[in-house]
Amino acid sequence: MAADPSVSQNEYGWTPDQPLIRLVDVHKAFGSLQVLRGVSLDVRKGEVICIIGPSGSGKSTLIRCINALIPVDSGTIRVEGQEVNDPDLDKLALRRKVGMVFQQYNLFPHRTALQNVMMAPVHVLKQNRKEVEVRARALMAKVRLQGKEDVYPGQLSGGQQQRVAIARSLAMRPDVMLFDEVTAALDPETVKEVLVTIRELAEEGMTCILVTHEMGFAREVADHVYFTDKGLIVEHGPPADFFANPKDERTKAFLGQVL
């Protein structure tokens, strides 16, 4: 209502100088299994953060809570000021701001690559099909898949499928992208082509949250690295610091194993 004209405030009272995503003391249990035990973190606009940690430490759960794929038990998650843990959450509004890419690509196998990219803007955002198509073709080119527009996902390699998945998410023009171990299912040779795409996105200023096992990549692109273990953030810091002198024993043990 009474917005300060000097800062552009969105409907939730959020201004771009505040963290784009803010998690405070998030808890989540599956039955008796405590998966998140009080996670807090901030992500600023344009920042790239990497979450690393051993298997089962709750990384996927954490990232899925951010776009409300999984409801949290307690704590707050705000995306551009919008409270995610709200029973009346406008999921559509949230999910058009938050893009997500999965380990298993999860492309729609009955639609061509281009249709995969176009579907959500056309049917969810009800945008003009012609305009969406122009944009979708540009996105296909951006992920270096020109000429593969009319190919079905089953005929693409894993790396190509994953890049279509990235383009599909970008077509919604999200403000933040979530990547959940997106290279974990790929052959070593195709990992690079996907990482290149993500790095370009990061360089363009896209806010990214990456769960990854690619330590070299994390060190290179991340502004901030978080290490999770058993549902807690054990340690975090800028990558140079984090990888050079980890302080916590668990971080040391983990890095000792993977590096």
Residues forming contacts to another protein in the complex (CB under 8 A) are 64, 67, 69, 71, 91-92, 95-96, 98-100, 102-110, 119-120, 123-125, 152-156, 165, 168-169, 172, 185
Q: Which two tokens stand for residue 238?
A: 């800028």
Range in contact with ligand ATP (rule: CB under 6 A) among 54-62, 89-97, 143-151, 237-245: 54-62
Q: Do residues 224 and 49 make contact, with C-beta atoms less than 8 angstroms apart?
A: yes
Give the C-alpha separation, 206 to 49, whole Å: 11
Q: Which residue has the tokens 């999200």?
A: 174
Q: Map the footprint of Mg ion across residues 12-71, applying CB under 5 A.
A: 60
Q: Which amino acid, residue 46?
A: G
Tell the smallest beta-carbon distance from residue 37 to Mg ion (Å).
Answer: 17
Told to check if 212 binds Mg ion by CB under 5 A, we report no
Which whole-number Å values give the CA distances from 62 to 79, 99, 134, 241, in the listed order? 14, 15, 34, 24
User: Of all residues in this chain, which one has the CB nearest to ligand ATP in the complex?
Assistant: 60
Q: Which of 7, 30, 90, 108 binds ligand ATP (CB under 6 A)?
A: 30
6 binds ligand ATP per the rule CB under 6 A: no
| Alpha-carbon span 125 to 141, nearest angstrom | 22
Asked whether position 55 contacts ligand ATP by CB under 6 A, the answer is yes
Among Mg ion, another protein, ligand ATP, none, the one that 102 touches (CB under a kind-dependent 5 to 8 A) is another protein
Query: Which residues in 163-182 contact ligand ATP (CB under 6 A)?
Result: 181
- SS3 category, 241: helix
Determine if 57 is a binding residue for ligand ATP (CB under 6 A): yes
Instruction: Report the distance separating Cα 247 and Cα 52, nearest Å.
Output: 15
Q: For residue 79, give Cα distances in angstroms to 36, 58, 169.
A: 19, 20, 17
Please state, in angstroms and as integers, the Cα–Cα distance from residue 17 to each residue in 46, 67, 207, following that order. 11, 21, 14
| Shortest distance in whole angstroms from residue 81 CB to Mg ion | 28
Rounded to an integer, what distance in angstroms lies between the CA atom of residue 52 and that of residue 195? 16
Contact with ligand ATP (CB under 6 A) among 58, 121, 159, 174: 58
- The residue among 151 and 232 lying less far from another protein, judged by its C-beta, is 151
Interface residues with Mg ion (CB under 5 A) are 60
Interface residues with ligand ATP (CB under 6 A) are 30, 33, 35, 53, 55-61, 181
